[in-house]
Structure 1
Amino acid sequence: MLLQLNIQNFAIVRSLDIDWQSGMTTITGETGAGKSIAIDALGLCLGDRATTNVVRPNCKKADLAATFEIKKNKMARAWLKQHELVSEHDSECILRRVISAEGRSKSYINGSQVPLVQLKEIGQLLINIHGQHDHQLIVKANQQCRLLDNYANHLPLLSAVKHYAQQWNKLNKELEMLQQSKQQREAEQQLIQYQVTELDEFSLQPDEFLTLEKDYKRHSNAQDLLDSTLSTLQSLSENDNFNILDSLRECSENINSIARVDNQLTDVATILSDTLIQLDEANNDLTHYYQQLELDPQNYAIIEERYSTAVQLAKKHQLSPENLVNFHSELKQQLASISGDETRINTIIEELEQTKLHYIESAEILSASRQKSGKSLSKLISKSMQELNMPHGQFCIAVDNNKKQENGKDSINTNGIDTISFQVSINPGQALEAMHKVASGGELSRISLAMQVILADKVITPTLIFDEVDVGISGPTAAMVGKKLKQLSKNTQVICVTHLPQVACKGHQQLFVSKLTDGELTETKVSELNESNRVKEIARLLAGDKISQHSLANAQELLAS
């Protein structure tokens, strides 16, 4: 429940501290005094949008803080623990909002700065605010559906319906995309298939082109290789008149011979000996190479043709021959992907059918529950309307189970397959019609209030605020409104901004809002009324500014009742 609200430099409030009690608190005051100012400040603590004009004139910032008792609020305690925002006194939660004159704001939970969205999240677990314009919303179809679902606690059923609807819409978009590009894919498939077939027939293997290139160069330069090799062998060993190996061998033998006499030639002898060994090995390797260099013209023709084809294919696809194998592999993958798209289309169609079946099954369960809950809520609202000075009032929630849209296409909506319509009859013999067609503004206000009181009993928040929801109500109707709100306060903290004495007198606590001015600055004050001042305020609400003994007696009677 709400324990305290501290307001600094907000609108026409300089400084204000309000302590709240359990049960029912009523807030009254003169017209224009700012009876809703505390509710507005509280709304900012709960994450409402802030503007620059909320800061009191000539002040740098507005500072607002609301303290809540959460000892019995398991969901709020769990949320704070999840976000690591538990205070030292874990039975309390303090929401704070600081707004600068430039419009910038900072948000705090238990002293820790947080994003504004977190104020909204925790706020929904602490307070539920009903505004004076709520009756304008209940004529809208989406709001009517939401009210019924809130009453029936349909969140789990709605979640299932929403899941299948979103899944169906996602699959349907994917199917449309694939079908729209089908013609383009078919043309692309024909081209890629031709390219793959051509490369399949050539069947170039990994690293084969490097081998082809080496063999091609060797075969195409065969004569040069033969001539150069033979000439070198002649110089090294095969020329009978003079060759390098014979001359080097003779030199090596001579130096080895005289090195025995003078050891200073030992290193030279070793070098000549090693060189002779290496040159002899080179001669042997070259002889072996020459003997193997017999090139087959037929094999060369095959190599030349394959090498040329690889170069032509690479040029055709604008890449280097070394990348031809990878390109071939990529084309195969593209072809498989295109073929996979066709398979995916068939799979999606099957998945769509299954998802639609699951959706309809979930939506029909939700629809059945809506129809059952609609009958129950209709009876409660009809009874409440009759108690609120509409003695012949009848209320009906029409749930139209509509699986098909007007154009015949499947209706897959995240909200289910139902059209919800609130229908009323105010006068005897009058047929039920859409609420906005037959109910006046005052009647809509009373119907809205009846709904809010009934639905408030279903909400999980420990504090309910009614901000002038009794506009357009008076007399016996007002007394019944006060009675209903007080009944509600047995289990929930109720705060009600009102101008009706019949409602104000029902509060366990009554706050009075006044406006003071010195001609230059205006300031709003909120004070808790004691018993005698409460009698005077109720009398003022009954009779206006001229309070008589009769109005005072009426006020005492209302308070006593």
Structure 2
Amino acid sequence: MSYVLTELSIQDFAIINKISVTFDEGLTVLTGETGAGKSIIIDAVQLLAGGRGSVEYVRHGTKKAEIEGLFTLDSNKHQLYETAKLYGIDIQDEMVVLHRTITSGGKSICRVNGKLVTLAILKEFGKLLIDVHSQHETQSLLNADNHIRLLDLYNEKQIAKAKKEYLSLFHKLSGLRKRYKELSENEQEISQRLDLLKFQKNEIEQANLVPDEDEKLEDERSRLSNFEQIYSGLQDAYNALYGEQKGLEWLNTASQALQRSQEHDTFIAEKAEEMSNHYFLVEELMYEIRNYTDTLEYEPERLNEVESRLNEINRLKKKYGSTVNEIIEYLGRIEEELEEITNKDSHISKLEKQIDGVYHDAYLEAKQLHDLRKEAADSLTKDIQKELKDLYLEKSSFSVSFNTQLKSGNEQYELNKNGFDQVYFQISTNPGEPLKPLHKVASGGEMSRIMLALKRIFAQHQGVTSVIFDEVDSGVSGRVAQAIAEKIQQVSIQSQVLCITHLPQVAAMSDTHKLIEKHEETNRTSTSVNELSKNEKINELSRMITGAHLTASAQTHAKELLDSASNYKEQMGKP
């Protein structure tokens, strides 16, 4: 596993006062009575991953709800690091901390590793770290608009590269078509645009701008505005060097003193030469200061001219660019656009040829995408069929359906950001029945198994290591419940899995079992989470089996479930 949710802290969230839960790798099961707060914990995780918040989550009588999750990583090659670098977030010691605060006033405050981020950025990190499979997530999988994304994810290694090449051409094609539309439609808008460009061109040209002129003028204004200080400083420097008992004379005295003894000591000889060189350098510097001072002349008229010119340039900057160079560049673009509009017929003809050429190239890339998707669809269908068979839906048929949209009036395909494909997942759960879209599958038990089969496949390809199942086993029992338990255990081999369940078969398969309980203290309801020992786990499984008091037969059954789960995990190579 590349990373796991190591610790979750929740404070003043719904009926939760304050809890801190640690998680391990593998399958962690959360059980408890209805209303104890199991789904509330999942709600908290979803908010941590960037889900929609509400003031109703803030515990009554408190000012804010706080949720924090610590994720431990063992690889620095995942996309998470690229996302962190993009937003200037430092990841140290291979740990990422997501933090979300919701105030009673409705404000949402998000942090990643202590840095304030927007909700949208938190969501980007969340989708790379957490995958929640709940009723809402089921609806997401049922949405046909998401099916092409899932298919691309299934064979991401090949499809992502082909899609990148296609999108480059598609964006280029979109830009050309936009420009073609601008030139060929609405003569009135083009005429108005032409007038505006001519006015702007004339206004900029009349200014007779020179590259870097604003920087040079600002330097000159600084000198003219501070003439007195500059002149005084130069005079003081010159007077400190020239004259009797001044700096240059003392340097000369020091140089002569060293020269008198230089023939008796190599060190003195070396320093005498250095001192002589320094003397001539300072003497030259003094003459340069004097000569530059003689050139200075106070020019109030020139200062007014500079101020006036800068005011004119600043007026243009407000319209056309932050510097003179940017304004000149803008003028170049104006001239290009003017030439294009003035000779629009020839440009339209040129654009038509460019559009045809780029469309042809984009179509070829889209065709390659289509072929790769077809291959991926065949492989995905086989994998899904196998998963469904394991879940006692062996008579079901799964299919990936492709649809393409043609442009009206010709045989060209209508290209979009996905190429020319529209993809739909279809299924038939009974022999002889036609394939139907996923959302038309009626049985709740069948739906749970279909969704788990899809999740089992796509969890391997999404790169998200913390997978959360919120009552994915609803509506099933018997051998199907055991099959679901085994399937969830299989997911946990590659991913950390947190699972809320009411099925003892699933709970028995857990590597860690946590019990969620609701308490009443000082007329307030609160929730606690405790990890169960082996004996406590047997008792909880017994309660789940009978739904009432513990019985000897229920405990025996619970032990049998644990032994069966242990044997299954050994067969899967999981200790």
Fold similarity call, TM over 0.5: yes
Of the structure 1 ranges 435-444 and 36-45, higher mean CA displacement relative to structure 2 is found in 435-444
Residue 216 (structure 2) aligns with: none
Query: How much does 1:336 deviate?
Result: 4.2
Query: How much does 1:71 deviate?
Result: 2.6
Contact 2:11 2:19 in 1 (8 A): yes
Matches within 5 A, 1:48-87: 48-75=51-78, 76-86=80-90
Residue 528 (structure 1) aligns with: 531
Change (3 A) 1:385 1:519: farther
Residue 149 (structure 1) aligns with: 152
User: In 1, distance between residues paired with 2:513 and 2:337?
Assistant: 76
Contact 1:24 1:495 in 2 (8 A): yes
Query: How much does 1:520 deviate?
Result: 3.5
Query: How much does 1:182 deviate?
Result: 4.7
Residue 295 (structure 1) aligns with: none
Query: How much does 1:28 deviate?
Result: 1.0
Residue 97 (structure 1) aligns with: 100
Secondary structure of the equivalent of 1:457?
helix
Matches within 5 A, 1:49-448: 49-75=52-78, 76-86=80-90, 89-153=92-156, 154-182=159-187, 336-400=339-403, 402=404, 404-405=406-407, 408=410, 410-437=413-440, 439-448=442-451
Change (3 A) 1:113 1:435: closer
Contact 1:378 1:397 in 2 (8 A): yes
Query: How much does 1:439 deviate?
Result: 4.9
User: In 1, distance between residues paired with 2:58 and 2:51?
Assistant: 15
Query: How much does 1:49 deviate?
Result: 2.4
Root-mean-square deviation over aligned CA pairs: 3.0
Query: How much does 1:394 deviate?
Result: 1.5
Residue number among 470, 475, 490 corresponding to 1:472 in the alignment: 475
Contact 2:8 2:21 in 1 (8 A): yes
Contact 1:387 1:477 in 2 (8 A): no
Cα displacement string for residues 276-310 of structure 1 (whole angstroms, at most 9, x for unaligned residues):
xxxxxxxxxxxxxxxxxxxxxxxxxxxxxxxxxxx
Secondary structure of the equivalent of 1:545?
coil
Change (3 A) 1:26 1:527: same
Cα displacement string for residues 221-242 of structure 1 (whole angstroms, at most 9, x for unaligned residues):
xxxxxxxxxxxxxxxxxxxxxx
Residue 257 (structure 2) aligns with: none
**Paired positions, count:** 422
Secondary structure of the equivalent of 1:558?
helix
User: In 1, distance between residues paired with 2:342 and 2:413?
Assistant: 29
Secondary structure of the equivalent of 1:165?
helix
Residue identity matched to 2:170? A
Contact 1:134 1:448 in 2 (8 A): no
- Aligned-pair identity (%): 34
Residue identity matched to 1:67? L
Query: How much does 1:429 deviate?
Result: 3.2
Change (3 A) 1:113 1:424: closer
User: In 2, distance between residues paired with 1:44 and 1:135?
Assistant: 18
User: In 2, distance between residues paired with 1:334 and 1:481?
Assistant: 64
Change (3 A) 1:332 1:366: closer
Contact 2:413 2:420 in 1 (8 A): no
Residue 482 (structure 1) aligns with: 485
Change (3 A) 1:58 1:344: same
User: In 1, distance between residues paired with 2:384 and 2:336?
Assistant: 65
Cα displacement string for residues 106-154 of structure 1 (whole angstroms, at most 9, x for unaligned residues):
2222223233332222222222222234333334321222221221213
User: In 1, distance between residues paired with 2:190 and 2:96?
Assistant: 60
Matches within 5 A, 1:28-67: 28-67=31-70
Query: How much does 1:373 deviate?
Result: 0.8
Change (3 A) 1:164 1:445: farther
User: In 2, distance between residues paired with 1:441 and 1:147?
Assistant: 22
Cα displacement string for residues 15-49 of structure 1 (whole angstroms, at most 9, x for unaligned residues):
10101011111111111112122222122222222
Of the structure 1 ranges 511-520 and 546-555, higher mean CA displacement relative to structure 2 is found in 511-520
Secondary structure of the equivalent of 2:494?
coil
Residue identity matched to 2:84? L
User: In 1, distance between residues paired with 2:182 and 2:138?
Assistant: 44
Query: How much does 1:84 deviate?
Result: 3.9
Stretches of structure 2 that go unaligned for 5 or more consecutive residues are: 195-333, 565-575
Residue 321 (structure 2) aligns with: none
User: In 2, distance between residues paired with 1:379 and 1:186?
Assistant: 60
User: In 2, distance between residues paired with 1:183 and 1:96?
Assistant: 54
Residue 11 (structure 2) aligns with: 8
Query: How much does 1:483 deviate?
Result: 0.9
Change (3 A) 1:65 1:138: closer
Secondary structure of the equivalent of 2:128?
coil
User: In 1, distance between residues paired with 2:189 and 2:56?
Assistant: 58
Secondary structure of the equivalent of 1:381?
helix
Residue identity matched to 1:404? L
Change (3 A) 1:184 1:526: closer
Change (3 A) 1:168 1:98: same
Question: What is the TM-score normalised by the length of structure 2?
Answer: 0.68
Contact 1:132 1:471 in 2 (8 A): no
User: In 1, distance between residues paired with 2:16 and 2:189?
Assistant: 68
Contact 2:183 2:341 in 1 (8 A): no
Residue identity matched to 2:361? H
Question: What is the TM-score normalised by the length of structure 1?
Answer: 0.69
Query: How much does 1:432 deviate?
Result: 3.2
